[in-house]
Amino acid sequence: MASLKPWHQVAVPREDLRKGVPLDAAEFAIHLDQVIDGRAPRDYRDPERFFARTYFTKAYRELTVEVLRRLAGEVVGTSPGINLVTQFGGGKTHFLTLLYHLFKAGDRAKGWPGVRELLKEAGLRSIPQARVGVFVGNRFDFVVGAGGEGEPRRRTPWGDLAWQLGGPDLYATVARHDQEGIVPGGEIIQRWFGEEPVLILMDEVLNFIRRARDAGGTYARLGSQMYSFLEVLSREAAGTSRAVLVVALPMSEYEMTPEDEAEFQRLNKALDRLSKPALLSEGPEIAEIVRRRLFEEVGDPEEIRRTAQAYAEWLRNHRQQIPEWFPVDQAEALFAATYPFHPTVLSVFERKWQSLPRFQRTRGILRLLALWASRVYQQAFREGSRDPLITLGSAPLADRDFRAAVFEQLGEDRLEAAILSDIAGEEAHAVRLDEGAVETLRKARLHQKVAATVFFESSGGQARNEATLPEIRLAVGEPGLDIGNIETALENLVRSCYYLHPRGTAYWISYRPNLNKILADRRASLSGPEAEEEIRERVRQVIRETFRPGPPLERRYFPESPTDIPDVPSLTLVVMAPEHGWENALRERTHRLIMDMIQHYRGRGRTYKSGLLFIVAEGGAQLFDEAKTLRALESLEDPAELERYKVDDRQIQELQIQELSEELREKKRRTERNLKEGIWRAYRRVLLLGEENELREVDLGLLHPSAAESMVSLIVSRLKQQGLLEETISPDFLVRHWPPALEEWSTKAVRDAFFASPSFPRLLNPEALKETIARGVREGKFGYASRAYGEYRSVAIGDPAFKEEDVELSEEVVLIPREKALGLKERPAPPVGPEPPPLGPGRIAEEDQSVGPHPETTPSPPVRLRLSWRGALPPQKWTQFYMKVLTHFATDPSLRLDVGFEVELEGNIARNRLEEIQAALRELGLDPDAIRATPQE
């Protein structure tokens, strides 16, 4: 690919095309009457220049040779007439002009390009110089007639032809017929012909009859008499050996009325005795016509051969992936014949466009390709293009004049929106896709090439022709291109474009919007605070659902201030709202908010700052975008919603019932999946307090729902892998990290350290610390005791029966270094306390539970007492009550407490306090749901 020369460095377009001189529409539309009176462009009125730019197709050669021989007097194998029935723009008038120049000049034309070859093929040495009569139906005026100054006014086609063929003398034979509008008989017409060659050329006959019909009155009669005149004229021409009648009829015309169709059929029948309808150019011949008309030089044959070989080799390697109709084995010759155009640029008009009512076959192709070559030639030099050929994908659809020429041939200008929106506008989907694509696709402008190819291969959306995937591969493929990239570009376009419609592996571009466009309009209507809040809540709902399953980890969703997160000694996963994201534009603000939440709580410093794990989104805007799309899709599920769009009933029925409903359901399923997967992709960064009291970032990588059972499970797993989260702690860790200044370490302080200090690992479950302490006591790593009145009670160390259930996490329960604990273990236990005070109101009640009599003569057995107390306790004296009363029985297994309290708080404060108290109850091993919050009047 790199060794192939760009086409614009090989082929040389005409000077006006190179300079981008505005092309006159008349440049490729010949008018025979203008050629005759000298008003036509020089390329047509200058005979030698005209022949130099004319490519003699097979039909041109055969018909011209036949006319040469007939006018030379040969009747065997020749016809006295030719009926040129082709599409508009099919080369009829060009052929009439060729005959006019050739036989008006006679032997003077021998030096013109191609004429000697024609003489040789005809077997002649000279060119018959003929009397030439020309009738152009759309030039002839019914009211004024024809005729110059000093000439009689000719009122009929036969009067005008007689004057051209024989001047005043021949006109005199039909003068009365001309003035009275009567068709002359065969005896009169026979006088037009003699020993000299006669050539009669008639163009736009159907136009003449139509205008006469529309004029009405005597003019309508003149139009109907045209049939009689043609019958007589053709019969008499057939009776002579040196006369030829050539009549050009359009095969079909855009918006032809039923009357026009009837006239056409009648005319065609009247000319049946002439030769068969002639197709003046076809297939590869059009390529040569184009090259002859548009280029001064096609270029170095060696460069053309190398390019043709490279493309042919690429096609042979992908034979199974291109259309079966394309002749791969003749590819090299075909590419060489159409250079610098790709063969599909010319064949698409034959394969797809020629069925369109307004399409002008040769003339239309020339006009389009002239603009095409001019625009892409200038663009290639301006942008340094390396394209070896002019392809369908290179069509300059961004150019207004080119689009106008395209629409003229299509007969449809409603495609303007489709082209500017999807293919070639400054913000077109294909343009933006190329800008954001990987380098290979971007440099090749592959999305734009594929989109333009679909446009041309689907007949511009007119006749529901479809661009098949094999056809697109053929038109876009080139040496060095990975064929898979074409399908990638197509998939991207289908997801983005507004007017591109897929059906399996076929595609077409229409002026009718697809679901993408309808969705975009519906999304645009979802604006305003209410709609935005609904979409925001939808995103948050799916986020909650995503983070809900998983390990029993506290979750806090979407906090806005430090008070939204309780300060409790447990691990809490804080899910930040997408609007507090971690992308560059939001990171600094989100960082400040998270640090504020870590460091503060209700006007004081946060205690358990290390227990907070923050998960932040990156690219949250895409989540809102998917949610907005989902909401729009849901609103379209009601068929009545589609009636809001300006489409006809047939389209509603076709799209909504047959196609749109299923596409809408599938897109909704895909969007729901995208939203869920988008949350996994967005929430990939965990933030926590590092040992330097700065945020530490843990990147979870690219995530997908298939990566773990739940998002929370994955987060826990990744943090455990990095040693930031632990299930259990070894007793040795506590020994190693024993605060040097402490002779005793309360179990509560031990627990708090794991959620307050970033130098400690975070415990997934605080209760696991009880097993750590119990194991340390059993193994004699440290001691365990309760503390009251400055004394240690129930010191335990090295006790193999000490279990997790024996551990209490409290300020009054402490761990003691090993040596100190062993020393305390050897001391006798301190007295329990003073004798109980006498009974009285509000005092502790004694119940004598001794059994049997109390003889005064024998010692009293031990007395068993059950102590209990009920009463109101001021909150300020709770600590004293515990220290002075309950510590006497703190280690007694029979001690039972029944606690209750009531307090009235303001609603918002109550909700936050409730969560904190539930966490504290859970920490104490108590039922967190036992607490009740009752609304007050």
List, for residues 724-742, the tens digit of each pLDDT value: 999 999 999 999 999 998 9
Distance CA 73, CA 703 (A): 89
Helices 529-547 and 661-682, axial angle in degrees (round to 10): 60
Min mean pLDDT across 119-128, 500-509, 519-528, 652-661 is at: 652-661
pLDDT at 240 over 80: yes
| Beta bridge pairs of residue 247 | 83, 202
Closest CA to 754 of 781, 776, 741, 773: 773
Per DSSP, the residues of 385-421 read ---SSB-GGG--TTSHHHHHHHHHHHT--TTHHHIII
Q: What is the pLDDT of residues 437-467, one digit of tens each?
A: 999 899 999 999 999 999 999 875 455 578 9
Under DSSP, is residue 283 helix (H, G, I), strand (E, B) or coil?
Answer: coil
Instruction: Quote the pLDDT of residue 363.
Output: 63
- Report the chain's mean pLDDT, rounded to a whole number: 85
What's the pTM value of the predicted model, to 2 decimals? 0.62
Closest CA to 623 of 685, 686, 536: 536
Under DSSP, is residue 506 helix (H, G, I), strand (E, B) or coil?
Answer: strand
Instruction: Quote the pLDDT of residue 832.
Output: 47
Instruction: Quote the pLDDT of residue 166.
Output: 93
173 residue type, one letter: T
Phi, psi of 895 (to 5 degrees): -70, 130
Are 703 and 618 within 8 A, CB to CB?
no
| Beta bridge pairs of residue 556 | 574
Instruction: Quote the pLDDT of residue 339.
Output: 95
Q: Which residue has the tokens 């936050």?
A: 912
DSSP state at residue 353: G
Instruction: Quote the pLDDT of residue 817.
Output: 95
**DSSP-based helix, strand, coil % in the chain, nearest 5:** 50, 10, 40
Q: Walk across the sheet containing 467-468 and list its strands.
A: 467-468, 506-509, 500-503
| Tally of CB atoms within 10 A around 782 | 23
Q: What is the pLDDT of residues 884-923, one digit of tens each?
A: 677 667 667 778 888 888 887 766 556 666 777 776 676 6
Instruction: Quote the pLDDT of residue 579.
Output: 95
- Distance between the two ends of the chain, CA-based, in angstroms? 84
Cβ within 8 Å of residue 429, ≥6 positions away: 421, 422, 447, 451, 493, 496, 497, 498
Min mean pLDDT across 108-117, 510-519, 664-673, 825-834 is at: 825-834
Instruction: Quote the pLDDT of residue 848.
Output: 43
673 residue type, one letter: R
Q: Where are the beta strands (DSSP E) in 214-353?
A: 243-250, 295-297
| Tally of CB atoms within 10 A around 930 | 8
Distance CA 616, CA 587 (A): 10
What is the β-pairing status of strands 506-509 and 467-468?
Answer: antiparallel
Instruction: Quote the pLDDT of residue 852.
Output: 44
Mean pLDDT of the 853-875 span: 64
| Beta bridge pairs of residue 745 | 815
Q: What is the pLDDT of residues 94-143, one digit of tens each?
A: 889 999 999 999 999 999 999 999 999 999 999 999 999 999 998 888 88
Q: What six digits make up the tokens of 868?
A: 């209990």
| Total count of residues recorded for the chain | 937
Cβ within 8 Å of residue 818, ≥6 positions away: 780, 781, 782, 783, 797
Mean pLDDT of the 338-359 span: 81
Under DSSP, is residue 423 helix (H, G, I), strand (E, B) or coil?
Answer: helix
Are 268 and 83 within 8 A, CB to CB?
yes
Are 394 and 387 within 8 A, CB to CB?
yes
Closest CA to 161 of 272, 54, 246: 246
Q: What is the pLDDT of residues 523-532, one digit of tens each?
A: 888 888 999 9
Give burial (CB, 10 Å; 0-12/13-18/19+) of 451.
buried
Closest CA to 291 of 57, 35, 20: 57
Are 362 and 289 within 8 A, CB to CB?
yes
| Beta bridge pairs of residue 554 | 572
Confidence of residue 937 (pLDDT cuts 50, 70, 90): low
Q: What is the pLDDT of residues 555-599, one digit of tens each?
A: 999 999 999 999 999 999 999 999 999 999 999 999 999 999 999
| Tally of CB atoms within 10 A around 861 | 10
Helices 331-338 and 343-351, axial angle in degrees (round to 10): 90
pLDDT at 290 over 90: no
Cβ within 8 Å of residue 758, ≥6 positions away: 609, 610, 688, 689, 690, 691, 693
pLDDT at 858 over 60: no
Min mean pLDDT across 132-141, 537-546, 627-636, 830-839 is at: 830-839
114 residue type, one letter: G
Distance CA 682, CA 582 (A): 9
Confidence of residue 656 (pLDDT cuts 50, 70, 90): very low
Instruction: Quote the pLDDT of residue 651.
Output: 47
Mean pLDDT of the 32-54 span: 88
Instruction: Quote the pLDDT of residue 907.
Output: 60
Q: Distances from the Cα of 714 to the Cαs of 378, 698, 719, in angstroms?
A: 57, 12, 9
Instruction: Quote the pLDDT of residue 909.
Output: 57
Helices 284-294 and 361-383, axial angle in degrees (round to 10): 60
Distance CA 98, CA 50 (A): 8
Are 323 and 468 within 8 A, CB to CB?
yes
Distance CA 274, CA 270 (A): 9
Are 724 and 731 within 8 A, CB to CB?
no
What b-and-e string marks burial along 340-360, b requiring 16 or more CB atoms within 10 Å of the CB? Answer: bbbbbbbbbbebbbbebebbb
Q: Walk across the sheet containing 782-788 and list its strands.
A: 745-746, 813-817, 782-788, 791-796
Q: Which residue has the tokens 């869920």?
A: 676
Q: What is the pLDDT of residues 385-441, one digit of tens each?
A: 899 999 999 999 999 989 988 888 887 788 999 999 999 999 999 999 999 999 989
Are 412 and 511 within 8 A, CB to CB?
yes
pLDDT at 876 over 60: no
Mean pLDDT of the 763-770 span: 91
Min mean pLDDT across 161-165, 249-253, 306-310 is at: 249-253
Under DSSP, is residue 83 helix (H, G, I), strand (E, B) or coil?
Answer: strand
Rg value, the chain, Cα: 49
380 residue type, one letter: A
Distance CA 641, CA 660 (A): 13
676 residue type, one letter: K
Confidence of residue 347 (pLDDT cuts 50, 70, 90): confident
Mean pLDDT of the 486-492 span: 96
pLDDT at 89 over 50: no
pLDDT > 90 fraction of the chain, expressed in percent and rounded: 53
Mean pLDDT of the 783-788 span: 90
Q: Where are the beta strands (DSSP E) in 215-306?
A: 243-250, 295-297
Q: What six digits make up the tokens of 441?
A: 């696709």
Mean pLDDT of the 261-283 span: 65
Q: Is the dihedral of CA 695, 696, 701, 704 positive or negative?
A: negative
Q: Is the dihedral of CA 838, 840, 845, 851 positive or negative?
A: positive
Per DSSP, the residues of 434-456 read HHTS-HHHHHHTHHHHHHHHHHH
Q: Residue 313 belongs to what H/E stretch?
A: helix 301-317
Confidence of residue 360 (pLDDT cuts 50, 70, 90): low
